Amino acid sequence: MKFALRHGEDRFELSVEEEAGGYRVNDGRTTWHIRFDDRRGAVRGVVVDDARHSVGVARKGDTWDVVLEGINYEFLTRDARFEKLLELQQARSGVASGRAELRAPIPGLVTAVLKSAGDEVREGEPVLVLAAMKLENEIRSPRDGKLAEVCAKAGAAVEKGELLAVIE
């Protein structure tokens, strides 16, 4: 069975097969022999070849959160066929055409909306202010362009990843 995973820029395409005492996992270049503690609960043991790790793993909405040596990895996990489909879709949609989305990097409260739909913005120019954890964060435009849409409203609470504005 094949699995495609993404964490930030990194992509992993892993094939998994059962073998005696565990699994054989391959990413096209390397093969690992894995033992994975199958009890329930969020903290488990995983043995990669001979290296033993204590690993935290839990599903969070659409992603899988994995913690290893304190580092938090957030994986989008899909089977490989599905990943191909998704890429095709994205190629067809606006992603490749120069459209940029401004999404909330953290959950927070929108305390000010500085631009309106139709405004021109320069790269680095603040579009709105998001307050979270006692700090105010300016959300800036990733490039020069025109605001096609501003979805955020001052006073509204937004979730992480929520669409705030679209630049074209």
Interacting residues toward other proteins by CB under 8 A: 1, 3, 5, 7, 10, 12, 14, 16, 23, 25, 27, 30, 32, 34, 36-46, 48, 50-60, 62, 64-73, 75, 77-79, 81-82, 85-86, 89, 105-109, 132-137, 157, 160
Least distance from C-beta 3 to other proteins, angstroms? 4
Task: List CB contacts of 83: < 8 A, sequence separation 6 or more.
Answer: 4, 13
Nearer to other proteins, 118 or 124 (CB): 124
To the nearest whole angstrom, how small is the minimum distance from the Cβ of residue 90 to other proteins?
9
What distance in Å separates the CA atoms of residue 23 and residue 92, rounded to the nearest whole number? 37
Comparison of 16 and 91: residue with beta carbon closer to other proteins: 16
Residue 34 vs 148, nearer CB to other proteins: 34
- DSSP assignment of 52-109 equals EEEEEEEEETTEEEEEETTEEEEEEEEEHHHHHHHHHHHHHSGGGGT-EEEE-SS-EE
Contact predicate 56/64, CB 8 Å: no
Residue 161 sits at the vertex; the CA angle it makes with 159 and 163, to the nearest 5 degrees, is 90
CB of 36 to other proteins, least distance (A): 5
CB of 142 to other proteins, least distance (A): 15
